[in-house]
Amino acid sequence: MRGERSNHTLSPTALVNETYLRLRQMEGSSWEDRSRFLDFVSRTMQRLLVEYARARRTDKRGGRQQRVELDPDLLPSVGPPNLDLLALAEALDQFRRLDPRATRVVELRYFGGASEEETAQLLDVARATVQRDWSTAKRWLARELRGTGSFSGPA
């Protein structure tokens, strides 16, 4: 993205491509199962989105006036295009101190697009626990992010 025009925004295709490149750098790595792979991919996508949002906020690239905009129809797990990803990352860091497992649920469901069943399997908890954690996290994050875009995520 460094060589692109200054008003270029990260597209879902670019996000997937960058994630793929990071996976390729880990040649020889193996994941125990699909859930472990999904866990890695969701964390990688989260990091990429936050890195990109931080880069776009630097004065060199136009300061705070630009936002990362993604088409929610193409990448529904990333959320509404007006959501401030840096504010979400900061809120998740705060929430992690309160409830690490619920934070993992958010990372897997919101950034990784994992289903309730996949999340429960990965975290080795019941599906009802994932539902409770997800509900708690959404309420907490929505309250924290008020004014920076709403947090909803997958149903």
Q: Is residue 7 part of a domain?
A: no
Which of the four pLDDT bands, split at 50, 70 and 90, describes residue 77? very low
Q: Is residue 3 part of a domain?
A: no
The SS3 of residue 55 is helix
Q: Where are the beta strands (DSSP E) in 6-127?
A: none
Answer whether residue 21 shows pLDDT above 90. Answer: no
Which structure tokens are listed for 119? 């999340």
> Residue 94 is part of which domain span?
12-144
How many angstroms separate the CA atoms of 33 and 85, rounded? 29
Q: Is residue 6 part of a domain?
A: no
Q: Is residue 52 part of a domain?
A: yes
124-141 residues labelled b (16+ CB within 10 A) or e (exposed): ebeeebbeebbebbbebb
The per-residue pLDDT for range 22-65, each reduced to its tens digit, is: 888 877 677 778 888 888 888 888 888 888 877 777 655 555 55
The SS3 of residue 72 is coil
CA distances from 108 to 1, 2, 28, 63, 117 (A): 26, 28, 23, 30, 11
How many angstroms separate the CA atoms of 145 and 70, rounded? 18
How many angstroms separate the CA atoms of 49 and 62, rounded? 17
* pLDDT at res. 5: 40
Domain total for the chain? 1
Q: Is residue 5 part of a domain?
A: no
Phi and psi of 92, rounded to 5°? -65, -35
Q: Position 128: which residue type? A: A
Of 19 and 98, more confident: 98
Q: Is residue 23 part of a domain?
A: yes
Q: Is residue 151 part of a domain?
A: no
